[in-house]
Structure 1
């Protein structure tokens, strides 16, 4: 049965936070939804909670699979979804009241393929703070093609590589075969760029939609530095392929900002390498070769930024 919105929630061992998440979705004022809960091999009490919600609300579907990671769980949910629009939610986070109604209404009014929401960081004491960008600045943007919007956001250091802020038409995702890279973390860094850079009509929503729960023990707070480094290296390679394929004059600024994101990720690899006390010996050489290849095609501001990251990496390799 076709519905207006599919909310896809990967679930893995989050029994302490799961009810808050599900209640925030199911109690939305917008009712024409399906909630696809992909149990990614949980070993705690999460599955019992999921089954209980499915029993009491016909909009809820539970899908069980062996543990394959969040990217695979999201892909599973997308494959099984029936919604006109797609929103991914993490199972330890929450939607803000009336978010779905506002997102759907704005997307229909603007006829967007992708609409970017806003998020608060949400702490255990219930304090809320803006995530990492200036909402007032984002509210100024009009509907534009994705490459243009990406360039404007990156130029102002405002681009949110956060999958749960992307409210997307399912047809758009399917037509462009946009899926999550499986077997890695930091998958948002890749998926969000693929999404926005292929959209013809996109903009930012002038309201908050999401509460990101800050807690210990999440994937991004874990100390598995080698896994994070390997994942970032995969994302770097994939982003370079995307930028390399932007060959027209109109795409040069966008491709330049993707390269800047690549240099930023390389710098993040440097920082993680310091924590592991294990030097990524190829990092400096990879950075140097990329600069030699793309430097002349970058804008002046982009050139300044990439040189900052280059110097950071160079100093690190000399320590």
Structure 2
């Protein structure tokens, strides 16, 4: 057995006892010849550690890291620092990975010397709605080998792109050379990660093959009505995301010239912030987050990056209402 595995799976776990057995079985069913599992138990308080221990002997390379709960980004960074594989993947434990997924991605990655290999997946709803592809085939078709900026522009232009790590594998040397890590403490950290990875990747390929089921639970936090406090937290997370995206755009000006949708996506995510603010019912909390929007320079950033009449119209019609709230604070 070679000292260097072909693939490292970096697996963040927090209270995953409901999913871990099925997840590890799905990895066994991949029938990978050269894989390393790095399981980061991020302070679980349920039976996760027991289940992880039960599977440790079923894989040739299986490493467990136990740490205090610090969130998925820190867990991934802990695993990333220990990874030895030629390629990296960051699967979520509560989804379904088809048996051939990683072998298929490794096939195109090794044949074509890819920095990033990516596939399609399927949205699976637990409330009876029919399943559907994550990336509709009429919006995003399979590609040959292209550079990352080209793929990012195509993907964002589709208006159906999902910034996720779990549909991809990454060449480890590329990630290491760029020094990429995940932003600690940030929800939806995949947005800045994916953007920067693709802006700098030289060889990328997408295959329109649905090899992953993304399970959408109707009772999950992200799909149930929020409170004022959750809306404020969401707004602040996305303000941080916008600051990160803006910094990325400034770091790679030549690439961004080729990907004008990098500006569009800042305004698009910014409109989500405005929607959260609009739904806050408590006047004091609404004033507080609106003041932050203007004083952190987030509004100016959103407006500066808006592209096209539709985005500017949607922003403009909200401006005077927000400014009135801000002046009253």
- What is the TM-score with the length of structure 2 in the denominator? 0.85
How large is the Cα RMSD of the aligned pairs?
2.5
Displacement of 1:237 in angstroms is 0.3
Q: SS of the residue aligned with 1:116?
A: strand
User: Is 2:319 the counterpart of 1:314?
Assistant: yes
CA distance in 2, matches of 1:73, 1:24: 21
Which residue pairs with 2:239 in the alignment?
233
Which residue pairs with 1:245 in the alignment?
251
User: Is 2:294 the counterpart of 1:289?
Assistant: no
Q: Is the 8 A contact 1:288 1:310 kept in 2?
A: no
CA distance in 1, matches of 2:29, 2:168: 20
Query: Which deviates more from structure 2 when the two are superposed, residues 146-155 or residues 167-176?
Result: 146-155
User: Is 2:181 the counterpart of 1:179?
Assistant: yes
Displacement of 1:155 in angstroms is 1.6
Displacement of 1:151 in angstroms is 1.1
Deviations 1:19-76 (A, max 9, x none): 1111111221323111111100000111100010003333322211110100000111
Aligned residues: 311
Displacement of 1:195 in angstroms is 0.9
Which residue pairs with 1:41 in the alignment?
43
- What is the TM-score with the length of structure 1 in the denominator? 0.88
Q: Is the 8 A contact 1:3 1:33 kept in 2?
A: yes
Query: Which deviates more from structure 2 when the two are superposed, residues 52-61 or residues 283-292?
Result: 283-292
User: Is 2:191 the counterpart of 1:189?
Assistant: yes
CA distance in 2, matches of 1:145, 1:93: 29
Q: How does 1:1-319 map to 2 (within 5 A)?
A: 1-124=3-126, 129-215=131-217, 218=220, 220-221=222-223, 223=226, 224-248=230-254, 251-254=256-259, 256-277=260-281, 278-279=285-286, 280-282=289-291, 283=293, 286=297, 289-290=300-301, 293=304, 302-311=307-316, 313-314=318-319, 317=322
Q: SS of the residue aligned with 1:163?
A: coil
Structure 1: tracts of 5 or more residues without a match:
296-301
Displacement of 1:103 in angstroms is 0.5
CA distance in 2, matches of 1:58, 1:128: 39
Structure 2: tracts of 5 or more residues without a match:
none
CA distance in 1, matches of 2:302, 2:242: 14
Displacement of 1:159 in angstroms is 2.5
